[in-house]
Amino acid sequence: MNEHKISPQIDEQTVQTFQKDGVVVLKGVFKDWVAPLEKGVAELMANPSEYGFARTVVPTDGSAPFFQDYCNWSRIPSFKEFVFHSPAAQIAAQLMQSRTARFFHEHTLVKQPGGSTVTPWHHDQPYYCVEGRQNVSLWIPLDPVEQAISLRCIRGSHLWEDEFSPTRFNGSRLYEHNRFKEIPDIEAHADDYDIVSWAVEPGDAVAFHYRTLHGAAGNASARSRRVFSARWVGDDATFVDRGGVTSPPFPELTLKHGEPLNSPLFPQVWPPQKVA
């Protein structure tokens, strides 16, 4: 008998919606984890990544900065606790329709009140050193987020064959080569796309596929927009050599192109591993 039961918070209709649309909103699934994650974000902002992963974007118009940092789960206790003891891994496995869920990395994103920094349209997979169709990001707000400043996703774009060039916030390309297509001007032709977004509360999650195109407006509200994003991969994840330094870079990795993404850097959390 399988002792590892999938969380009853996620029903089959939700799974099918995620598979079809590449994005789905999950209401209240992490409400018990808001306080620990808030504590972790405060610790992180007081002591950002020592590896240079922290980035603070300061708008030229003098408005509030946008802070982001990633790959800190192993040194921030409440982040580590979330990875291994929240229902996230179970939820990810079910959404991915995968027997296993392996933790890829976390990303903290804080848009301060009044900040004008726009998250440009992009999809994540070209940034990453991973290929595979079984993946999911769980975008978890720690503050109430109005629909106008919430994550926006293009429904069904995870099924497109196109891959678009990954760029940094300053507009420069991540890789020197140009094997990817240029992303279309989505804002100028918004009516041509099935764009969805939701007003969300602390402890909700927007689950989206690594290939789903997404972006977000600046934070025109009077409160912070703190988000903890937990990223997962499933059974079919393999290492991919992008021909340049990926984001995150994972310089310690010694995997070869096409090998399964099996490494202590990416622990399998679901099903839980037995300790000898």
pLDDT for residue 2: 38
CB neighbourhood size of 149 (10 A): 18
C-alpha to C-alpha distances, 267 to 258, 264, 273, nearest whole angstrom:
19, 5, 9
Beta bridge partners of 152: 197, 215
Query: What are the tens digits of pLDDT across the range 25-77?
Result: 999 999 999 999 999 999 999 999 977 688 888 899 999 999 999 999 999 99
The upper half-sphere exposure of residue 151, i.e. CA atoms within 13 Å in the direction of its Cβ, equals 29
Given a cut of 50, the residues of the chain with pLDDT beneath it are: 1-4, 276
CA distances from 74 to 23, 32, 129, 265 (A): 27, 21, 19, 9
**CA distance linking residue 53 with residue 119, whole number of Å:** 17
Q: How far apart are CA 214 and CA 181, in angstroms?
A: 16
132: left (phi over 0), alpha (psi -120 to 50) or beta: left
Contact 198, 25 (CB under 8 A): yes
Q: What are phi and psi of 197, to 5 degrees?
A: -160, 165
Q: How far apart are CA 201 and CA 223, in angstroms?
A: 13
69-79 pLDDT tens trace? 999 999 999 99
CA angle 149, 211, 141 (to 5 degrees): 30
Q: Give, as one character, the DSSP assignment of residue 71.
A: S
Task: Output the six-digit token pair for 54.
Answer: 């922290």
Kindly list the distances between the CA atom of residue 78 and the CA atoms of 61, 75, 212, 249, in Å, as whole numbers in the listed order.
Answer: 35, 9, 28, 23
Q: How far apart are CA 127 and CA 101, in angstroms?
A: 20
3-state secondary structure of 214: strand
- pLDDT at 110 (0 to 100): 98
DSSP type of residue 100: -
3-state helix, strand, coil in the chain (%, to 5): 20, 25, 55
pLDDT of residue 275: 53
